[in-house]
Every structure is written in structure tokens, then in C-alpha cells.
Structure 1
Amino acid sequence: MPEPRTESRHPEAEGLHLRSADRVLSALLDAQIGALAALHPALPAIEMAAEAAAAALRAGGRMGYAGAGSSGLMALADCLELAGTFGLAPAQTPMMFAGGADALLHMKGAAEDDARLAIADLDASGLQSGDVVLVLAASGRTPYALTIAEQARARGVTVVGFANVPGAPLLEAVDIPVLLDTGPEMVAGSTRMGAATAQKVALNMLSVLVGIRLGHVHDGYMVNLTADNAKLVERAARIVGDVASVPLAVAEAALAATQGAVKTAILVAQGVEPDAARDALTRSEGHLQPLLK
């Protein structure tokens, strides 16, 4: 099997250890910026993946994540943010990480080669026909990721595969392939660098588009956030005040009347009764735009 491009030496890496610190850092930054250029040709695939995921969530299904090592960490970072940012229940976004929680403190390489572990994690995720799973592997040939992709697809799950190597097996095994061709790393094989940066940005874009499609983003505000700390309670009040065009005191009263439900509070702040606001949001499938004054 030929060496994946992520394992090759970057053309700018020769003599890296001999350079001054400022030149090393500048070269590393340029390589990170260059890796992001790989996102442009992937935009249509990312859009397709986001639309599929939004449709699954809208229908009451799930959007799962899966990966090992650095790719798994990028998936986990996006997955964990969805509850606070978009109000998605964790049960709607199961995470499959090679090695489980223990591996987050000390990652063990053997876990990413364990196909049986992948099947057990997929079984525990609850993913089924009609759901979507985002599977990440920089090399596109990690056994854990490949097994989840193949087994999930066999169960009727729509599988999105993110890989950083053209022609990778993962891209051939999924419904929606997303190639992020970031090329060689400045530290050969260290895909926590350019490959992971591109993966994280791709997931950022995908999940925001999902949030928009579900009505959880309005004018750039996270109107379905879960306000579970002081910072987010203050943010929720500012969002209600700005979107409803009311003073902060009115926004805070509306949030109190809706037990912190931001979208409902926006309508209440505009004079709608809480029950009527909830009913209207149900009819609009969670979208504020057609309901605002």
C-alpha cells in the first residue's frame, strides 16, 4: 500500500530544526493556513452532509460522530459543543471515540485498530436507519473508523466520511465522501496539525449549517442555546433583547416566563403568550423568521 501523503515530508520542512524560532513558527503558521485551502473544493460535500444531518435531526433522528486519535478529538470537540450552542440533546449526537473516555487522558494506538471495539461502540450509539454519522480519519484507512463506516452503512445509516488523503478507503466506503486534501505535514505524519485543523473547520461549518437549517441560528445568534451557567444566562438575555428589539429588563422577564427557552422568550418579549409562542414555533418547525414582528 503506497504511503499516504500525510506521512510524506512537507517541502518546507527540510532544515526546520536549524531555523530560528520565529522562522519555525512562521513556517508552521503558513502550513496551517495552507491546509485550510483544502476546504474550498470540499464545500459542496460539506453542504450535502449538513443537509442530510439536519433532515435526520428534524425527523427525530441522530447525528453521530466517530473517529480515533487526533481525528476523533476533532469530532469530539464539535460533538460536545452542540448541546450548549444549539440546544441539541446529547442523546441526539452520540460520540464514538476509539478507546472511550479512558483514551482521552492517555490515547492508546491499539484502540484504533480494534474492529470489535468499533462494532460495540456502534451498537451502543443507538444509530439506526434514517440517522447520519460523521466518520473522521486523516489517513482514511484507520480500522476503527472504517469498521464503523461499513457497519453503519449496512444498517441504513447515512455515512459521511472525512479523510485527508485522495483515494482513501474511507472515501470509497461512505455515502458522502468529504476529501480535505491537506497534503504533507510540517512534522511528517503528525495529522494533529494541518489535517486536524481542516477537519475542525469543516465540522464547524457543517454544524453551523445544521443549526441554521433547524432554526437554531437566527441573524448569527444561537437562539436555541442551553443557558446553564451565568455567562450563558447573560448571553441569552442579550440575544432576546437584540432579536426582539426590547430592553434588557423585558428580555429577562420573558426568559423567566419561558424557563430560559430563548426562542420562545423572543416571541413573548414581543407580546405573545408563552403557550401561543410554543405552538407557533411548533408550526414553524422551530424557525423564528416567519413569526417575528
Structure 2
Amino acid sequence: MLKTETPSAEHAALDQYSASELVEVLIDDQFNAVKAVRAAAPCIAAALAAALPRMQAGGRLVYVGAGTSGRLGTLDSVELYPTYSWPQERALALLAGGDSAMFAAVEGAEDDTAQGAADLEAVGPTPRDVVLLLAASGATPYVLGALHAARKAGALTIGFANNPDAPVTREAEIGITLDTGSEVISGSTRLKAGTAQKIALNTFSSALMVRLNKVYGNLMVDLKATNAKLVLRAVRLTMLATGADEEAARDALTQCDFSVKVAIVALNKKTSIDAARALLESAQGSVRKALAA
């Protein structure tokens, strides 16, 4: 039996716990998700190193999964644009059962190996692409179908599973095992198995964006100011990075369509918006390199 499906020996009387005991047990078990991701840190670092040159060459991130795993992949993909201005067409998510499965379970979709391959082939994978294959069990047919199609196309494949020696981690070029063990509620991989996947994906994509010059120091300087909250965040980030007051920061941002990077370079270098853009372009988008030029 898969470890994720094995009943927990610790909580056989879970349904008899008091409210406080029940809540504490469910929370405490989540700490094991962090431990599982930490143990996989070397593999996540290897995935980062392999993915970076492909992204620098114009490749795409393609997330593939079913159920909870697929929804977590979709979540990671859609958040890259507002957080880091990562082009939406370069972060795709394939979910067993199609887009509607994000909101309502499509029973049986995860068992269709051929559909997984067809969905991956439909996005036209290339050797520059990075395909992230997510399966708590590590053996979801839909995900394995996509994995085989991705490998055939020459894309980099990174497999995530919550069981050791799983097909998705064995057959991907880089396997990341998040060994979370049995769940408090037997087989419910939306618990710590899902938490571990969320942490691992966040870690991988955030580290990748740092390497792609989307961060200056530890400031998120390549966000899209698409709402009032993000406009205020852009102003605060510009002020933090430059020491400018709010009026100066907002004025610079207004001139460059709220590009925090451009505003930082323009204010710190005391140069025009056009010159700041040119410096950033020659520095491959690195604020640090543009300021040193």
C-alpha cells in the first residue's frame, strides 16, 4: 500500500477527539509537510539549475496534474504574472478533466493516460520548456501520459510525488519526492501531501524568478500593479529601494507605467525613464547590474 494511503496508526479514534484535540492534531501534522520539503531541497535546487537556462532561452513552464495536485499547479502558474510579470503564455497549466475540474471534480479524468499525452502535445512542447508533473501517488495515468509526451518532445521533466520510488519521479529527468507518509485522515492527500506540494512549487518558482532578475535584494520589483493594493505596494517598494518620498516615487512610477524596476533605476541613477529602461535592458533586467553600470 502506498504510504499516502496507509492509515495513520496514531489517530485511529480521530472521530472521537474533542474539538480542540482535533484541530491541534490536524495542524501539528502539517509540520511534517515542511520536513518532507526540506529533505527534498537538494532535488529542488537541481531542478532550479536545470530549468533556468531553458527559461532564459524563452521556454515555458507547463504544470500537469489531477485533482488537488493539478489545482495546486494551476494556482502556482496563474500567480506568476501578477507577482513577477511572468508572461501568462509562458506559464501553462494542464488539469485532468479540463479547466472546469478546477471547480468541480471530474471523476475518472485522472485515469486517462492518452488524454494526458494529448493535452501535453496540444501545447506544442519544445526542448526549451519545463514540464512540472504533480501526483501525490506518483502514478496518476493522466500525469504519466503527459510525462511520456514531454520526454518525447525533449522538454525538461520534473516529477513531484509524495511516495518514494514512484513512477513519476523515476521516469522524469529530475524526481522530487516529498515523503509525507500517511495522512491523519487516511488517503486524504489534500492534507499534508498537498501542503508539501504547495511549498515545493512555491519554492521552485520563487527561486526561479529570483534567478531571472525579478527580485532586487529581497524586494518583489517586477510585479504588475493591476489593482489598488498592488499600486500601493509598487509605491512602497520604490520608496524602500530608493529612499525617495512617496511623491517622488509615485511620480517616477507614473512616468514608466508603474514599472518598479525602471523607477528604482531612474531615481537611484538620477536619470531619465528612457535611460533607465535602456540600462535595464542591457543588464538583462537585473536592477543590481543596471545600478552598477
Deviation of 1:192 (Å): 0.3
After superposition, where does 1:254-293 map in structure 2 within 5 Å?
A: 254-270=252-268, 271-292=270-291
The CA distance in 2 between the partners of 1:126 and 1:276, in whole Å, is: 38
Taking only the aligned residue pairs, the percentage that are identical comes to 40
Higher mean displacement: 39-48 or 122-131 = 122-131
Deviation of 1:185 (Å): 0.6
Which residue of structure 1 lines up, in the alignment, with residue 231 of structure 2? 233
8 A contact 1:39–1:202 mirrored in 2:
yes
Structure 1 residues not aligned, in runs of 5+: none
Residue 109 (str. 1) matches residue 98 (str. 2): no
Deviation of 1:19 (Å): 1.2
Deviation of 1:92 (Å): 0.6
SS class of match (2:63):
strand
After superposition, where does 1:158-237 map in structure 2 within 5 Å?
A: 158-237=156-235
Which residue of structure 1 lines up, in the alignment, with residue 127 of structure 2? 129
Q: What do the CA deviations read for 1:36-90 (whole angstroms, capped 9, x no partner)?
A: 2111220011112123333222111111111000111111111111001110011
The CA distance in 1 between the partners of 2:253 and 2:242, in whole Å, is: 12
Residue 96 (str. 1) matches residue 94 (str. 2): yes
Which residue of structure 1 lines up, in the alignment, with residue 136 of structure 2? 138
The CA distance in 1 between the partners of 2:78 and 2:288, in whole Å, is: 27
Question: Alpha carbon RMSD of aligned pairs, Å?
Answer: 1.2
Deviation of 1:207 (Å): 1.2
Which residue of structure 1 lines up, in the alignment, with residue 44 of structure 2? 46
8 A contact 1:185–1:194 mirrored in 2:
yes
The CA distance in 2 between the partners of 1:57 and 1:272, in whole Å, is: 30
Q: What do the CA deviations read for 1:230-258 (whole angstroms, capped 9, x no partner)?
A: 11011011111111221111111111111
One-letter amino acid of the structure 2 residue matched with residue 15 of structure 1: A
Q: Which 4+ stretches in 1 moved above 3 angstroms? A: none
8 A contact 1:99–1:108 mirrored in 2:
yes
One-letter amino acid of the structure 2 residue matched with residue 219 of structure 1: G
TM-score normalised over the length of structure 2: 0.96
After superposition, where does 1:18-37 map in structure 2 within 5 Å?
A: 18-37=16-35
The CA distance in 1 between the partners of 2:271 and 2:58, in whole Å, is: 27
Aligned equivalent of 1:58, options 33, 56, 59: 56
Which residue of structure 2 lines up, in the alignment, with residue 5 of structure 1? 3
TM-score normalised over the length of structure 1: 0.96
One-letter amino acid of the structure 1 residue matched with residue 204 of structure 2: L
